[in-house]
Structure 1
Amino acid sequence: MNRVRISQMANKYMNHEMISLHTELPEFPDGRISLLYSVLSHQPNAVSHKELLSIVTSLVQMGLDTHDSVENALEPSDSGMRGMRAQQLKVLAGDYFSSRFYHLLSQAGQIETMRHLSEAICSINRIKMSFYGKVKQMKLNAEEYLHYGAEIKSGLFLSFTGIMSGLYERVWPELVERFSRCEVLLQELRKVEKKSSLEGSWGVWHILQEGTEEDRRLLEDRKEDYSLLLTMLHKYDVADKLGSLLRQSTSQLQALLQKLQSDKLMRELQPLIEPFLQATGQQRATVLKELG
């Protein structure tokens, strides 16, 4: 099963006319879901349920991500009935996806899996509360930002460690954490490249940690000054630093895959790593061009 096939099967359970008409859903977590599916394919205790487990995990993840996309306050451009309806539907959509997850697992008699995923959801919510608390108090550094992001992304997938066997059980937690870290770094790099969603991004925390006292004060006092933020990101070579971190994490991820000692699995997982390799290659080429 390829990545497109997994998302198509999951979409069967997510598709709802009201949701699709009035709100925009987060990006489907196809990388982590494909990673889970491929590894489960090599587990004797899980291979017969790999499709079900991959689908329900994607439903839960989409539910969590949809809830996370709900704004605490409507932007001026989203005011009025239309904006309010979109926000309400995001909440309902997240609940709807979660209900589908419970329904599918109960139908299949997978009560233990339901328990493990439910516990993972509680753990993820605790991590989010800790993260938001540190953000509010301005007590977060750049590395902690990455760590929290990877923890939140990997939380559901770590719940499957118990059904892994032998070497896979030992490698899986680090593998999914490292993969999630690469995803976070890639997202942050794309934010800088597209110059979007930069407020509260890794670059901001990096400058607040490593910048001069004057620059830190400027950034704190003029948080909504977008042109200032872009200038700061360029001054502190944020894109270059993100590219370096992504290259480092991708190399560590590849080393972990080697430990699995399966050429077949390596071939299956290689397409999942390609976006990280391509992004770092493109970013390096851009830097060299600017230096030239």
Structure 2
Amino acid sequence: MKSYRIPELAKKYADHEMIQTYTELPEFPDSRIRLLFAFLTNQKAPFQHSELYSLVVSLVQLGMDTHDLIDSDSGHVPEREMRSRQLKVLAGDYFSSRFYHLLAQAGQVDMVKRISEGVCEVNKLKMNLYVKMKQLRVTAEDYLDQSIGLKTELFRVFTDMLDDEAITDWRELLQGFGRCEVLVEELARSEKPERFGGSWGYWHVLEEGNEEEKRKLVEKSGDLPFASALLAKYDIRSMLAGKLKQSISHVLSYSSKLDPEKLMRELIQIGESFQRPLIAAVSVHGERR
């Protein structure tokens, strides 16, 4: 299998002094890109452009994730914050546009169409989730499932390009790694009461909380002491850590049964990478208790 170097290649487009000075970028979607690259390079006839495909998808995903960081608050904000917001818009547009140029250069026009359709599907999923959240018609598990869909939808455009015998494994592991990613992010959010609104924990309390808690949650989810109290009362961190542990166990067990051995080892490494945030979260939670 070819050496994995997509993050290094993507730095050429992501490392800009202006961005580093005035704003921040989202995490590189490493686990999903490694998964894609591993499958593309382990087909019976490995794709000539497996590295290019993985790179452009990483840039498109980075562009969408950057746009998702933009604060939609229309009120007055300090100049530095406004500049950060503007740079996120420009950076997201830039990352999203580079995929077209790179694929066009390589004569991969059909792939431009595939990825563009994938982006459209992701945006549809985002809008559907946003509307349901505004209407409070989301359960905690609905939120988790739809968040996984947002992580994985773009990558599904490669499904029918894979060998028939690889498709089931690809779908299972894409879903499994996507679930791990979402749970890692939600675990991080559970450490920050200011990010409680709209999180998995928020929707869990709206399901399981008493009527007074539900009312107060809808009226003032931004109340940090209240959010902290709910996080502690419902032990949100432990619940998320338990879900993440189960998800990691599943992807490791599934990956260990795959051939060829190089693919199996790469997938196990991806699965094991999720154990670090889990161990860190459990350690911090244990110290606080």
TM-score of the superposition, structure 2-length normalised? Answer: 0.91
Distance across 2 between alignment mates of 1:55 and 1:251: 28
1:53 aligns with 2:58: no
Report if the CA contact (8 A) 1:168-1:260 is conserved.
no
Residue 132 of structure 2 corresponds to: 134
1:72 aligns with 2:77: no
Matches within 5 A, 1:1-292: 5-73=5-73, 79-195=77-193, 197-284=195-282
Residue 163 to residue 2, structure 1, CA distance change in 2 (3 Å): same
Structure 2 stretches of 5 or more lacking a match?
A: none
**Structure 1 position 276, deviation (Å):** 2.4
**Structure 1 position 189, deviation (Å):** 0.9
Residue 153 to residue 201, structure 1, CA distance change in 2 (3 Å): same
Root-mean-square deviation over aligned CA pairs: 2.2
Report if the CA contact (8 A) 1:32-1:179 is conserved.
yes
Distance across 2 between alignment mates of 1:286 and 1:85: 35
Report if the CA contact (8 A) 2:159-2:170 is conserved.
yes
Structure 1 stretches of 5 or more lacking a match?
A: none
Count of residues in correspondence between the two structures? 288
Q: Deviations over 1:114-172 (max 9, x none)?
A: 11111100000000000000111111110011111111111111111111103212221
Distance across 1 between alignment mates of 2:288 and 2:123: 42
Report if the CA contact (8 A) 1:2-1:34 is conserved.
no
**Structure 1 position 290, deviation (Å):** 7.2
Report if the CA contact (8 A) 1:22-1:85 is conserved.
yes
Report if the CA contact (8 A) 2:257-2:264 is conserved.
no
Q: Which amino acid aligns with 1:165?
A: D
Report if the CA contact (8 A) 1:66-1:90 is conserved.
yes
Residue 168 to residue 24, structure 1, CA distance change in 2 (3 Å): same
Report if the CA contact (8 A) 1:167-1:260 is conserved.
no
**Structure 1 position 217, deviation (Å):** 1.9
Q: Deviations over 1:89-134 (max 9, x none)?
A: 2111111112211000011111121111111000000000000001
TM-score of the superposition, structure 1-length normalised? Answer: 0.90
Distance across 1 between alignment mates of 2:84 and 2:237: 33
Q: Which amino acid aligns with 2:184?
A: L
Residue 238 to residue 164, structure 1, CA distance change in 2 (3 Å): same
Distance across 1 between alignment mates of 2:204 and 2:172: 25
Q: Which amino acid aligns with 1:29?
A: P
Report if the CA contact (8 A) 1:182-1:249 is conserved.
yes
Residue 102 to residue 277, structure 1, CA distance change in 2 (3 Å): same
Distance across 2 between alignment mates of 1:13 and 1:279: 27
Distance across 2 between alignment mates of 1:95 and 1:287: 38
Report if the CA contact (8 A) 1:45-1:163 is conserved.
no
Q: Which amino acid aligns with 2:19?
A: I
Residue 261 to residue 2, structure 1, CA distance change in 2 (3 Å): closer
Distance across 1 between alignment mates of 2:232 and 2:279: 19
Which shifted more, 66-75 or 190-199?
Answer: 190-199
Q: Deviations over 1:180-219 (max 9, x none)?
A: 1110001111222355522211111111111122222222
Q: Which amino acid aligns with 1:72?
A: S
**Structure 1 position 284, deviation (Å):** 5.0
**Structure 1 position 271, deviation (Å):** 2.2
Distance across 2 between alignment mates of 1:107 and 1:46: 20
Distance across 1 between alignment mates of 2:148 and 2:52: 24
Which shifted more, 58-67 or 83-92?
Answer: 83-92
Report if the CA contact (8 A) 2:143-2:200 is conserved.
yes
Q: Deviations over 1:239-265 (max 9, x none)?
A: 111111112222222233245333221
